[in-house]
């Protein structure tokens, strides 16, 4: 098998009535002003944040209080402008920003565009945050995080140069793409793209947009980041969180790449919106007990969400016990969710991935792809994918309660079905709803010849049938 790879509701905390200090709160998602509030919640006035935070001094506020969706400017916050940053979009502010970060503490970016020509290295615990229109401009790695417990929040990132893109028509995956040279819809091609070899050199090996990188670190938190062609590439992060970001991606959107560093453990990626990644929207490599949930991912050049299989450069890259839940994925050029281990059920790795309550629409590969030992695929909705809705090659799997509609839009004559179990042992396929507008190629449920002791029960199919060529299959009450 070919590998296929707002409305914002702000909830205010109940302020303690006995407290007397008035904090200044900056909303992190595109407000025009900072709102100063009394502790009872009454708005007393609206002012620009720049008037509160002078270029060469921190705010004089005496305390801070966190409110969901807001950034708090506290008395110990230091403006990067105190260290000489201009924020005018043309001056190279790298040295000033590096000096501010070296000082540690809470580092604040007032409104402006901060052009950065070299990588900023973070070797100390620091909390970095920006005003509502604080933007960093760079093509290349912007932050190299080498210290535990770093937070970066509420910043916008933009590219310096204009990329060469591939734009595909997701309503017709077989249609020849267009090749715009702008910041509009489309993604930058990679070597994995089928057309890469035929492209001119200007489309290859582009360095466009900002990259946030980390080494072996713990408890990194990235949140409320926005922008164009941003890539978050963490090589060695554990116990880290990436959440509430909304950006157009560069290479990967978010990559937890841990096979060449410390193993990833209990990382969490949630509430992000990622679009037009050249590769996968979110990828985990050598991560254990990590969670990907409540993300919206669309129009990626490869899969929407991927857990890596096999090894990379001889080092194990497989993940185990990943939970992938409540994500919405659409129009990706490979699979919607590729939660594989090594494209086989014959593996010693009990990956036990759980793929729950996701929505996958119109991807060019499979909607959901799993293998290994013990995966659960439950209560997902998969519609109009070009290949199988759910493809499994696993042992002891549970595929249950899923809704599948009109998959195999490529109308492949063989090997592609709404649910495909292609080998394995002791798999349970039950309680799934399978519908098609009309009868076309492929089965509703297909149990492959290498599959043994599968249970297929209580599935409902419309304009589709169950086909079993496995061994010792138990079929009960399917209609």
Does residue 159 fall inside a structural domain? no
Q: How far is Cα 17 from Cα 423, in angstroms, rounded to an integer?
A: 64
Distance CA 121, CA 260 (A): 20
What is the model's pLDDT at position 20?
27
pLDDT tens for each residue of 30-87: 332 233 332 323 333 333 333 333 333 333 222 232 333 444 555 578 999 999 999 9
Q: How confident is the model at residue 23 (pLDDT cuts 50, 70, 90)?
A: very low
pLDDT the model gives residue 313: 77
User: In percent, how much of the chain has pLDDT > 90?
Assistant: 59
Instruction: Note whether residue 463 is domain-resident.
Output: yes
Task: Work out the pLDDT band at 476, boundaries 50, 70, 90.
Answer: confident
Distances (CA, A) of 294 to 138, 240, 249, 325, 356: 29, 16, 18, 7, 11
Give the single-character DSSP code of 86: -
Does the residue 5 lie in any domain? no
In this structure, is residue 352 part of a structural domain? yes
180-221, pLDDT tens digit by residue? Answer: 999 999 999 888 888 888 888 888 888 899 999 998 999 999
Is the predicted pLDDT of residue 18 greater than 50, yes or no? no
Domain count across the chain: 1
Closest CA to 275 of 300, 257, 238, 252: 300
Q: Is the pLDDT of residue 458 over 70?
A: yes
* pLDDT, average across residues 162-167: 92
- How many of the other CB atoms lie within 10 Å of CB of 32? 9
Sole residue written with tokens 């599968």? 454
Residues in Cβ contact with 62 at an 8 Å cutoff, skipping those fewer than 6 apart: 21, 75
| Contact between residue 45 and residue 22 where contact means Cβ atoms under 8 Å apart | no
- Gap between the Cα atoms of 423 and 1, Å rounded: 13
- Does some domain include residue 443? yes
C-alpha distances (whole Å) from 395 to each of 188, 386, 392 are 37, 25, 9
- pLDDT per residue over 425-454, tens digit each? 899 999 999 999 988 899 999 998 888 889
Query: pLDDT band at 372, cuts 50/70/90?
Result: confident
* % the chain with pLDDT above 70: 81
| Full DSSP string of 17-78 | TT-----EEEESSS-SSEEEE-TTS-EEEEE-HHHHS-TTS----------TTEEE--TTEE
More confident residue, 395 or 9: 395
User: Is the residue at 371 inside a domain?
Assistant: yes
Q: According to the model, what pLDDT value does residue 478 have?
A: 85
Please check whether residue 320 is in contact with residue 349, taking contact to mean a CB–CB distance below 8 angstroms. Answer: yes
- Residues whose CB is less than 8 angstroms from the CB of residue 176 and which lie 6 or more positions away in sequence, other chains included: none
- Indicate the helix (H) or strand (E) that contains 398: strand 398-400
**442 assigned to some structural domain:** yes
State which residues form the domain around 397.
344-479
So what's the pLDDT on residue 350? 58
The CA-atom distances, in angstroms, between 237 and each of 268, 293, 340 are 11, 18, 21
Q: What is the mean pLDDT of residues 115-119?
A: 97
Q: What is the mean pLDDT of residues 287-316?
A: 89
Q: Is the pLDDT of residue 329 over 80?
A: yes
User: Considering the domain boundaries, does residue 79 fall inside one?
Assistant: no
What pTM value is reported for the model? 0.84
């Amino acid at each position: 098998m070919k590998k296929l790879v707002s409305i914002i509701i702000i909830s205010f905390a109940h302020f303690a009535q006995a407290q007397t200090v008035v904090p200044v709160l900056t909303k992190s998602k595109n407000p025009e002003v900072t709102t100063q509030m009394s502790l009872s919640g009454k708005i007393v006035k609206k002012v620009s944040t720049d008037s509160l935070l002078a270029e060469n001094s921190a705010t004089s506020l005496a305390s801070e209080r966190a409110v969901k969706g807001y950034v708090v400017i506290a008395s110990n916050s230091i403006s990067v402008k105190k260290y000489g940053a201009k924020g005018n979009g043309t001056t190279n502010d790298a040295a000033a920003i590096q000096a501010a970060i070296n000082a540690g503490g809470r580092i604040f970016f007032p409104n402006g565009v901060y052009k950065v020509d070299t990588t900023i290295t973070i070797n100390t615990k620091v909390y970095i945050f920006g005003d509502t229109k604080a933007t960093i401009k760079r093509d290349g790695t912007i932050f190299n995080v080498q210290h535990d417990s770093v937070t970066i929040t509420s910043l916008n990132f933009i590219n310096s140069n204009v990329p060469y893109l591939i734009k595909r028509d997701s309503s017709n995956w077989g249609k020849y793409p267009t090749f715009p040279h702008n910041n509009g819809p489309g993604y930058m091609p990679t070597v994995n793209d089928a057309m890469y070899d035929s492209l001119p050199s200007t489309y290859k090996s582009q360095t466009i947009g900002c990259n946030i990188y980390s080494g072996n670190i713990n408890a990194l938190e990235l949140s409320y980041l926005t922008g164009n062609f941003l890539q978050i590439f963490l090589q060695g992060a554990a116990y880290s969180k990436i959440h509430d970001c909304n950006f157009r991606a560069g290479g990967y959107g978010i990559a937890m790449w841990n096979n060449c560093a410390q193993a990833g453990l209990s990382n969490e990626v949630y509430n992000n919106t990622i679009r037009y990644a050249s590769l996968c929207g979110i990828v985990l490599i050598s991560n254990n007990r990590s969670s990907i949930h409540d993300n919206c991912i669309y129009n990626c050049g490869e899969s929407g969400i991927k857990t890596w299989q096999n090894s990379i450069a001889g080092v194990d890259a497989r993940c185990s016990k990943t939970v992938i839940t409540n994500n919405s994925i659409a129009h990706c050029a490979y699979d919607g969710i590729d939660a594989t281990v090594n494209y086989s059920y014959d593996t010693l790795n009990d990956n036990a991935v759980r793929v729950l309550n996701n929505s996958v629409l119109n991807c060019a590969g499979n909607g959901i792809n799993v293998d290994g030992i013990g995966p659960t695929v439950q209560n997902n909705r998969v519609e109009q994918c070009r290949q199988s809705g759910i493809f499994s090659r696993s042992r002891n799997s549970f595929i249950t309660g899923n809704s599948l509609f009109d998959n195999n839009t490529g109308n492949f004559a063989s090997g592609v079905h709404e649910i495909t179990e292609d080998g394995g042992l002791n798999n349970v396929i039950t309680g799934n709803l399978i519908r098609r507008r009309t009868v076309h190629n492929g089965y509703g449920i297909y149990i492959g010849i290498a599959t043994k002791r599968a249970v297929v029960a209580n599935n409902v199919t419309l304009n589709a049938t169950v086909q079993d060529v496995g061994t010792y299959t138990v079929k009960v009450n399917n209609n």
